[in-house]
Amino acid sequence: MADQAPTKRTSPEARKKVPFRGGGFKPRPIRFVAPLVFLGLVLFWEFGSRNGIISNLVLPAPSEALSALIDLYQSGLLWAHVSASLHRLVLGWSVGTALGIVVGVLIGLSSLARSSLLPLTAAFFPIPKIALLPLFVIWFGIGEGSKVATILFGTFFPTVIATYGGVDNIERGLIRMGQSFGLSWFSILRKIILPGALPAILSGARISASIAIILLVAAEMIGAEYGIGAYVLTAGSLFATDQLIVGVAMLSILGLCVSWLIGKAEKVLLNWRG
Amino acid sequence: MQISIENLSHAYGSVPVLSDINLTFEQGEIAVIIGPSGCGKSTLLRLMGGLEEPNSGAAYIAGEVPTRCLNPLTYIFQEFALLPWRSVAGNISLVLEDHRLSKSDANAIIGDVLARTNLSEFRDALPRQLSGGMKQRVAIARALAVRPAFLLMDEPLSALDSQTRELLMDDLVDLWARERFSACYVTHNLAEAVRLGHKVIVLSRRPGQVRDVIDINMPLEERRNRSSELEGVQQQLWQMMREEALAADRELADG
């Protein structure tokens, strides 16, 4: 074949471009699409409510929810609800996460802890913490204690699982390197194991923060005067659907803020991943 | 300082990997250990440096450990083992931090080893920004920082492409010419063995035994230009390795 030079020009019919069949399967974020979709949805909703397509009984219009929010703000109770909830969330989530990291690292490093605590974690993780709320009320009192405890237990288990998974996945070679240079046990823990498990811990934090917000409403079911959850529950039992929407929107915004904060933390703490 | 291995045998469970090894490693010399894959050469290196415990026999350090030495037996790993979250300087500082050096002393050491390995301009780079060859140079700099009496090198060039491997071999020869470091160098690459080894220890297939020890007397610095004269040695090594490698290749993994 190679010696058949010069090549004969083939007719145009016989010449065909190689069809492109690669690409795709790699979505990239497009800016402004998310807010536009959101805005479109709210506009459709408002339009539907005003034209009677969506009955007011089924779903109040966004404008009604907005005026309910303004009422809430003017009554001065908005901040009382938000601050009470934030207080419980931050306390329950941070203590639960801290304990979860400690236990997760123990399970990741010690055979005894792994054999004893891992089955316990597997047994307790699937229990809905809401079901335990009456017990928590008896154990920790009807005040803040039971509410913080519900969130704490809810965030503890997912953090344990994320952390020990992260510790398990650290390259053995890095630990062996630490040992070969005579690093102390504590140095290996602090400088190799914890930073190595940090990506897993942070993605665990994303999950546990969402669980904490879900449990917030449950925790505020019993004996809470203030709190977003309490506000939503009161609105629900009075069928004040406009207030219900306001409360749900606040929870959703809270979730967005938390996710944004964790995203920031990932950017700063995990910049080495590039 | 000398390392001697006496009557050393080791097994993983019921699989014997090394049997009755007796070897001495002299100061100022690069001893290369070659053998077919799975013959236990990396295990031998881990046993020598105390990362694993042998079933029987032992490795000994004979003679005085130099006083300036921070970590007498220091490894260089095939996969570099750099912390991805630390910069080049940070990775070197890691191995100095437990030695209670003053900040200025530690910085002086870091600056010195980076200069000796031509890495000064990469001081603040992260491992992910470096090529494989540069990563291994950082690992070498890190090993030099603790002023080792012996370098234990576990296939240090095996994760690199062949061009980078050539460059790094030249670097290692230059480094040896300047510092006369002592090393035990494990590889399966015969070209590396004849370029870098003052003596070449040939292990048999599993369970690894010392099959032969070959001395190569040509100075390291001349070997690149006189490679044709080394061809014979390399052929001799290959003849020895060939049958072992062939037999090892046909073994079942968990037999």
Position B243 pLDDT exceeds 90 = no
A260 DSSP 8-state letter? H
- C-alpha angle A96-A102-A106 in degrees, rounded to nearest 5: 140
Q: Which residue of B has its CA nearest to A274?
A: B128
Amino acid at position A54, single letter:
I
Contacts of B140 in chain A (CB under 8 A): none
Measured between beta carbons, the chain B residues lying within 8 angstroms of A199 are: none
pLDDT digits (tens, 9 = 90+) for A116-132: 999 999 999 999 988 88
Find the helix or strand (DSSP H, E) in which A139 lies: helix A133-140
Which residues of A are less than 8 Å from B128 in CB distance?
272-274
CA-to-CA distance for A174 and B25, rounded, in angstroms?
27
Q: d(Cα A160, Cα A103) in Å, to the nearest integer?
A: 6
Q: Which of B94, B99, B135 to mutate to test the interface with A (most CBs of A within 10 A)?
A: B94
Note whether B146 contacts A177, CB cutoff 8 Å.
no
For residues A184 and A121, the answer to whether their CB atoms sit within 8 Å is: no
Residue in A271, A115, A175 with CA at minimum distance from that of residue B79 = A175
- A179/B51 CB distance under 8 A: yes
Integer-rounded Cα Rg, in Å, for chain B is: 18
The two structure tokens encoding residue A70: 């303004």
Parallel, antiparallel or unpaired: strands B199-203 and B210-215: antiparallel
How far away is chain B from the Cα of A177, in angstroms, using its nearest Cα?
A: 6
More confident residue, B247 or A87: A87
Predicted TM-score (pTM) of this structure: 0.86
Distance from CA of A43 to the nearest CA of B (A): 46
Lowest mean pLDDT among A201-210, B30-39, B50-59, B130-139: B30-39
CA distance B205 to chain A (A): 25
Q: Can the peptide bond before residue B16 be classed as cis, meaning omega within 30 degrees of 0?
A: no
For residue B224, pLDDT over 70 is answered with yes
Give the pLDDT confidence of A32-42 residue by residue, as tens digits.
999 999 999 99
Which CB contacts under 8 angstroms, 24+ apart, belong to A111-117?
A: A114/A164, A117/A160
Are B139 and B74 within 8 A, CB to CB? Answer: no
Amino acid at B58: A
Residues B128, A184: C-beta atoms closer than 8 Å: no
What does the alpha-carbon distance between residue B3 and residue B150 come to, in Å, rounded to a whole number? 9
Average pLDDT, chain B: 91
Q: Where do we find the tokens 């102390």? A: A184
For chain B, how many helices (H) and strands (E)? 7, 9
How many CB atoms neighbour CB B249 within 10 A? Answer: 11
Residue A148, helix vs strand vs coil: helix
Question: How far A180 CA sits from the closest chain B CA (Å)?
Answer: 7
User: Which residue on chain A is closest to B129 by alpha carbon?
Assistant: A274
Task: Name the residue facing B85 among A178, A184, A272 (closest C-beta).
Answer: A272
Identify the pLDDT of residue A130.
87
- Closest residue on chain A to B95 (Cα): A181
- The reply to whether residue A191 touches residue B126, judged by beta carbons under 8 angstroms, is no
Mean pLDDT, residues B98-113: 94
| φ, ψ dihedrals at B215, nearest 5° | -90, 135
- B35 contact A CB<8A: no
Q: Does A24 touch chain B (CB under 8 A)?
A: no
> A176 contacts in B (CB within 8 Å)?
51, 77, 81
Look at A191-205, B88-102, B223-237 and tell me which has the smallest mean pLDDT: B223-237
pLDDT at A1: 47
pLDDT in tens, chain A (274 residues): 455 555 566 666 788 999 999 988 988 889 899 999 999 999 999 999 998 888 888 889 999 999 999 999 999 999 999 999 999 999 999 999 999 999 999 999 999 999 999 999 999 999 998 888 889 999 998 889 999 999 999 999 999 999 999 999 999 999 999 999 999 999 999 999 999 999 999 999 999 999 999 999 888 888 888 999 999 999 999 989 999 999 999 999 999 999 999 999 999 999 998 7
What the block records as the tokens of A246 is 């306001």
Cβ atoms < 10 Å from Cβ of B104: 8
Q: Which tokens in the block code for residue B170?
A: 């030249």
All residues of chain B having their beta carbon less than 8 Å from the beta carbon of residue A270 are 85
Nearest CA in chain B to A182: B71
Distance of alpha carbon B159 from alpha carbon B34, whole angstroms: 16
Distances (CA, A) of A269 to A158, A199, A201, A257: 21, 9, 12, 18
Contacts of B75 in chain A (CB under 8 A): 177, 180
Say if residues B74 and A180 touch (Cβ distance below 8 Å): yes
Task: Give the SS3 label for residue A27.
Answer: coil
Q: Which has the closest alpha carbon to B203: B235, B239, B244?
A: B244
Identify the three-state secondary structure at position A100: helix
Transcribe B74-123 into DSSP letters. EEE-TT----TTS-HHHHHHHTTGGGT--HHHHHHHHHHHHHHTT-GGGT
Q: What is the pLDDT of residue A8?
A: 62
CA separation for the pair A53, B76 (Å, rounded): 72
- Whether residue B220 contacts residue B196, with contact meaning beta carbons closer than 8 Å, is answered with yes
Q: Could you give the count of Cα atoms lying within 13 Å of B212 in the half-sphere of its Cβ? A: 11
Helices A144-168 and A194-219 sit at what angle, rounded to 10 degrees?
A: 150
| A:120-179 residues touching chain B, CB 8 A cutoff | 171, 173-174, 176-179
Separation of alpha carbons B88 and A175, rounded Å:
18
Nearest CB neighbour to B71, from listed A173, A182, A274: A182
Bond before A6 cis per omega within 30 degrees:
yes
- Mark yes or no for CB contact B95/A274 under 8 Å: no
Backbone φ, ψ for residue A181 (5° rounding): -95, 10
Other beta carbons within 10 Å of B138:
25
Contact A272 B126 (CB under 8 A): yes
Cβ of A274 and B128 within 8 Å? yes
Provide the pLDDT for residue A122. Answer: 92
How many contacts, defined by CB atoms under 8 Å, are there between A and B? Answer: 54
pLDDT mean over B177-192: 92
Rounded distance between C-alpha atoms, residue B220 and residue B169, angstroms: 10
* Residue A109 · residue A193 · CB < 8 Å: yes
